[in-house]
Amino acid sequence: MKVVVQRSLKSSVSVDNKVTGSIDSGVVLLVGFTEGDQQRDIDYIINKVINLRIFDDEDGVMNKSLLDVNGSVLSISQFTLYADTKKGRRPSYVKALNPSEATKLYDLFNKKLSHYVNVQTGVFGADMNVSITNDGPVTIIIESEDKYEKD
């Protein structure tokens, strides 16, 4: 599982010119799944996302978490995070999990994450227009496989 975290002042997603999700202060998550991902990957990523100290404290130091600032999440499914560009000019997406399995994991991820913070989403598999006002900019990539390399 791979997630790109972008600290955001205001962001939204629309499908067919209809807004399906929007947030003010918080983070935008671009979420991708690969073969072998399971619930423990989701739990690891959620723990990282809600506890990352990427928001400024009173002294302007990134010392507060999403929970500390009562921030929201705009979650966007993003199979292209697993693009392989090693050969040729057209990316291969064979490392991305098939849509039927990825949908289940994405729904579970958002459901579990919503126990901690307000979660807004796009539409899985849809052609989405995402508007992100990146704050900082702060952009961080988290991969669940990093956890297992250290276990």
Active site residue 80: yes
Set 80, 121, 133, 139: catalytic member: 80
What are 92-98's contacts with CB under 8 Å, separation 24+?
95/34, 95/35, 96/32, 96/33, 96/34, 97/33, 97/34, 97/35, 97/37
Q: Cα angle at 46 between 129 and 40, to 5 degrees?
A: 115
Three-state DSSP class for residue 39: helix
The residue whose two tokens read 């959620």 is: 46
C-alpha span between 4 and 30 (Å, rounded):
5
C-alpha span between 74 and 130 (Å, rounded):
10
Active site residues per annotation: 80
